[in-house]
């Protein structure tokens, strides 16, 4: 072997990579949803679509306090996060809420809350036993 050249072998003691959990069980899958909902205007848009069903940009702009161009940019962020989808009917484009990513994010929060409840229960049992 030439000087300064090392051959690295994978040790049998090296742990094997963990199998990834199902995508729905991975809370990181919900991160884009939480990031998108972290903006007041986008949260307003999601609430409007949830209450009224599919809406045009013009309808979404009413009461939002921002321009149509700004609403359009916010809708693009929501689209990238999977929270909305487009419906085209002729020249009109309507935006519709996709509830599946919201449900997945809620399930992630429920799992985290359950884990905290279990950890607090173990802590309580430990404190009371000692």
Whichever domain contains 65, its CATH number is 1.10.10.10
Examine residue 128 and state whether it is found in any structural domain, yes or no: no
Examine residue 16 and state whether it is found in any structural domain, yes or no: no
Tell me, rounded to whole angstroms, the distance of Cα 1 from its chain centroid: 50
Sequence-separated (6 or more) residues with CB below 8 Å from residue 46: 37, 78, 83, 84, 97, 102
Whether 20 has a pLDDT exceeding 50, the answer reads: no
Examine residue 127 and state whether it is found in any structural domain, yes or no: no
What is the residue range of 72's domain? 27-119
Please report the pLDDT score of residue 115 as a whole number. Answer: 87
Number of domains into which the chain is organized? 1
Please report the pLDDT score of residue 21 as a whole number. Answer: 38
Please report the pLDDT score of residue 100 as a whole number. Answer: 93
Examine residue 3 and state whether it is found in any structural domain, yes or no: no
The pLDDT of 105-117, averaged and rounded, is: 88
Examine residue 96 and state whether it is found in any structural domain, yes or no: yes
Question: 24 with 39: CB under 8 angstroms?
Answer: no
pTM for the predicted model, two decimal places: 0.68
Examine residue 52 and state whether it is found in any structural domain, yes or no: yes
Helix, coil or strand: residue 4: coil
Axis crossing angle, helix 68-80 with helix 40-52, rounded to the nearest 10:
80
| Chain mean pLDDT for the chain | 83
Tell me, rounded to whole angstroms, the distance of Cα 47 from its chain centroid: 16
Q: How far apart are CA 97 and CA 78, in angstroms?
A: 9
Which residue intervals of the chain are DSSP H helices?
A: 31-37, 40-52, 57-61, 68-80, 99-129
């Amino acid at each position: 072997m030439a000087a300064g050249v090392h051959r690295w072998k994978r040790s049998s003691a090296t742990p094997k990579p963990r199998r990834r959990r199902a995508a729905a069980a991975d809370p990181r899958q919900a991160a884009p949803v939480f990031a998108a909902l972290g903006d007041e205007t986008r949260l307003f848009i999601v609430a409007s679509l949830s209450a009224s069903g599919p809406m045009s940009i013009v309808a979404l702009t009413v009461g939002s306090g921002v321009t149509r161009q700004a609403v359009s940019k916010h809708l693009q962020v929501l689209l990238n996060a999977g929270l909305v989808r487009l419906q085209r009917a002729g020249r009109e484009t309507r935006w519709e809420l996709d509830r599946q990513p919201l449900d997945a994010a809620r399930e992630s929060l429920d799992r985290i809350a359950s884990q905290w409840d279990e950890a607090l229960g173990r802590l309580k049992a430990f404190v009371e036993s000692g």
